[in-house]
Amino acid sequence: MRCYGLALEVATEDGAILERLVADLPPGARPVETEAVNRRWALRVAGVGRPLHEVLVDGEVAARAPDLGEALERLHSDLRLYVAAHARRRLFVHAGVVAWRGRAILMPGRSLAGKSTLTAALVRLGATYFSDEYAVLDERGRVHPFGKPLSLRDGAGRQHDVAVEALGGVAGRGPLPVGLVVATAYRDGARFRPRALSPGETVLALFDNTVAAQHAARRALAVLRAVSVEARAVRGARGEAEAAARAILRLAGRERRDVELPPTQC
Amino acid sequence: MERELDRLPVARPSSELIVEELPDELLVYDRRRKHAHCLNRTAAMVWRRCDGVTSLEAMVGELEAAGISEGRTAALLALDELERAQLLAPAEAPLRAVGYSRRRMLKNLGIAAGAAIAIPVVQSIVAPSVAEAASCIPSGGTGCAGGTACCSGGTCMGNTCF
């Protein structure tokens, strides 16, 4: 298949597994006939009696799991990360993304920052879903949808895939300019009182979550610069997701003239 | 005035850095150390003049001509910030300024009019590796003790996801 300018191969000998394998490929992946591929993934069933699923990456066993779902998730997660790191014409920033009134809201953050929870809260309030994992940016700084089910954690901290429609939301389509960047993470009991960021601080907040930051730094800084000169940005800890989501939509809905001028310098 | 510094400061070679300009700031990526820095206007002005030729006196003159009060204090503080961020060429000994006290100079700048803008600032982060930017660590992977969660169904034991 072709995916974000990369030639990738996924394979399995089991037809039923293939169906599930193909169902969760990254958005935009399309089948092609090619022998020259950047990376190969395969899933095979091994073990005698009790099945064991093996994930192979370029022919080497990368993971083993008795549970097929777990093996599939390992494969898809690895594939998405590879695409995020090596995409030729897009920059992947680890972030939740929604659209509101024609502009995108980016919420960069590492794992456990609560991005998916906050993204889900924004969707429940009427924002359009783009992604709970990656902001996919083009060279003009516009963000493209990266449609996948939201990965929401239950009370025990386990992740479950939830379709955006199950939250009463809809998935976005075309690319949008970024209107607001919100660098936030969950902190028990915190009240969301963010401070404005300068353009340089905005770039650092996004770069800190850019998958290809180390090996595509020049391209990353140019793309993030384009975002920072167009978008407003804030940083601050948040508590409960719904309250923060309401505050974020208020911020995003305000006209520039109504907003306190952000600092021009870091 | 140049005798106040024990040598003329020199910026790291451009081959080691990636520079991106913003209207009032400068972004500098250190390819060797994998650090990204944001320099505010004062710090950027001083760093651009760290060419091994420009004296402290000339830097001060440029800062004051640009409307930055307490130019000498601002220049020395900027050099201190730049040296801490390792944006100056390495030397056997740190850059020394005669009679320089960071605390006293910050205090001086704090009471000077418009000082909030004049104080040189260098903010820095370490660029994440691909693994650090991952959403979750799959079964068998390590690093969950560092804050990244295990993927669905996984449990972090020690530093490994099971």
pLDDT, one tens digit per residue, over B65-93 is: 999 888 888 999 999 999 999 999 987 66
Task: Tell whether the model's pLDDT for residue A95 goes beyond 60.
Answer: yes
Parallel/antiparallel/unpaired status of strands A159-162 and A150-153: antiparallel
Average pLDDT of the residues in A117-128: 97
Closest Cα of chain A to B142: distance in Å? 12
Q: Which residues make beta-bridge pairs with A176? A: A143
Q: What angle do CA A4, A34, B131 make, to 5 degrees?
A: 40
Q: How far apart are CA A170 and CA A100, in angstroms?
A: 12
B15 touches chain A (CB under 8 A): no
Q: Do B20 and A133 touch (CB under 8 A)?
A: no
To the nearest whole angstrom, how far is the Cα of B154 from the nearest Cα of chain A? Answer: 8
Rounded CA gap, A101 and A103, in Å? 6
Q: Does A18 score more than 70 pLDDT?
A: yes
Name every chain A residue with its beta carbon within 8 A of the beta carbon of B128.
Answer: 110, 208-211, 213-214
SS3 assignment for chain B: CHHHECCCCEECCHHHEEEEECCCCEEEEECCCCEEEEECHHHHHHHHCCECCCCHHHHHHHHHHCCCCCHHHHHHHHHHHHHHCCCECCCCCCCCECCCCHHHHHHHHHHCCCHHHHCCCEEEEECCCCCCCCCCECCCCECHHHCCCECCCCCEECCEEC
According to CATH, where is 3.90.930.60 located in chain B?
A: 2-126
A81–B130 C-beta distance less than 8 A = yes
Report CB contact under 8 Å: B36, A70: no
Q: Find how far residue A226's CA is from the centre of its chain.
A: 19
pLDDT average, residue stretch A169-181: 95
Is A217 close to B29, i.e. CB distance below 8 A?
A: yes
> What token pair was written down for A189?
């009991």
Alpha carbons B162 and B134: distance in angstroms, whole number: 17
- Do the beta carbons of residue B154 and residue B139 sit within 8 Å? yes
Locate the DSSP E strands across A47-126. 52-57, 60-65, 91-100, 103-108
Range in A69-78, A87-96, A230-239, B47-56 the model is least confident about: A69-78
**β-pairing, B156-157 with B160-161?**
antiparallel
Give residues with Cβ within 8 angstroms of A142, minimum separation 6.
A175, A176, A177, A178
> With an 8 Å Cβ cutoff, are B135 and A266 in contact?
no
Average pLDDT over residues B122-146: 73
- What is the structure's pLDDT at B2? 44
- In chain A the domains, ranked by start, together with CATH numbers, are 2-86 (3.30.160), 91-258 (3.40.50)
* Cβ-defined contact of B133 to A94 (cutoff 8 Å): yes
Q: What is the mean pLDDT of chain A?
A: 92
Q: Are strands A195-196 and A103-108 parallel, antiparallel or unpaired?
A: unpaired
Residues near A212 by beta carbon (within 8 Å), at least 6 away in sequence? A84, A85, A86, A87, A91, A92, A219, A220, B130
pLDDT for B1 beyond 70: no
Which of A24, A68, A72, A74 would best serve as a mutation to test chain B binding (most B beta carbons within 10 A)?
A74
Which residue among B36, B121, B129 places its CB closest to the CB of A207? B36
Cα separation of the two ends of chain A = 43
| Structure token digits, residue A228 | 């920072």
Average pLDDT over residues A153-172: 88
Taking CA–CA distances from B141, the nearest residue in chain A reads A63
Listed by number, the residues of chain B in 94-123 with a beta carbon closer than 8 Å to a beta carbon of chain A are: 117, 121, 123
Stronger pLDDT, B86 or A50, i.e. the higher one: B86
Which architecture characterizes domain B2-126 according to CATH? Alpha-Beta Complex (3.90)
- Compare B19 and B107 and report the one with higher pLDDT: B19
Q: Do B38 and A200 touch (CB under 8 A)?
A: yes
For a pLDDT cut of 90, what percent of chain A falls above it? 71
- The 10s digit of each residue's pLDDT in A20-39 is 999 889 988 998 887 789 99
Residues in chain B closer than 8 A to A70 (CB atoms)? 139, 151-154
Tell me the average pLDDT across A150-154: 87
Q: Which residue of B has its CA nearest to A83?
A: B130
Cα B16 to the center of its chain, rounded Å: 15
User: How many CA atoms within 13 Å lie on the side-chain side of B57?
Assistant: 4
Q: In chain B, which among 124-153 make CB contacts under 8 A with chain A?
A: 125, 127-130, 132-136, 138-140, 147-149, 151-153
pLDDT of A126 > 90? The answer is yes
Range of lowest pLDDT (B52-61, B64-73, B78-87, B147-156): B147-156
Beta bridge partners of A217: none
- Note the pTM of the prediction, 2 decimals: 0.87
Mean pLDDT in residue range A116-136: 96
Main-chain phi, psi angles of A160, to 5 degrees: -135, 140
Mean pLDDT of A69-90: 92
Indicate if the pLDDT at residue B4 is higher than 50.
Answer: yes
pLDDT at B90: 84
pLDDT at residue B63, as a whole number: 94
Give residue-wise pLDDT tens across range B103-133.
777 777 666 655 555 789 999 999 998 877 6
Do B119 and B46 touch, CB atoms closer than 8 A? no
In chain B, what residues touch A133 (CB-CB under 8 Å)? 135
Q: What's the rounded Cα separation, in Å, for the pair B124 and B38?
A: 6
Find, in chain B, the residue whose alpha carbon is nearest to that of A96. Answer: B135
Which single residue is written with the structure tokens 């090619």? A34
* pLDDT tens figures, A199-235: 999 999 999 999 999 999 999 999 999 999 999 999 9
User: According to the model, what pLDDT value does residue A231 have?
Assistant: 96
* Spatial distance between the Cα atoms of A209 and A224, rounded to a whole number of angstroms: 11
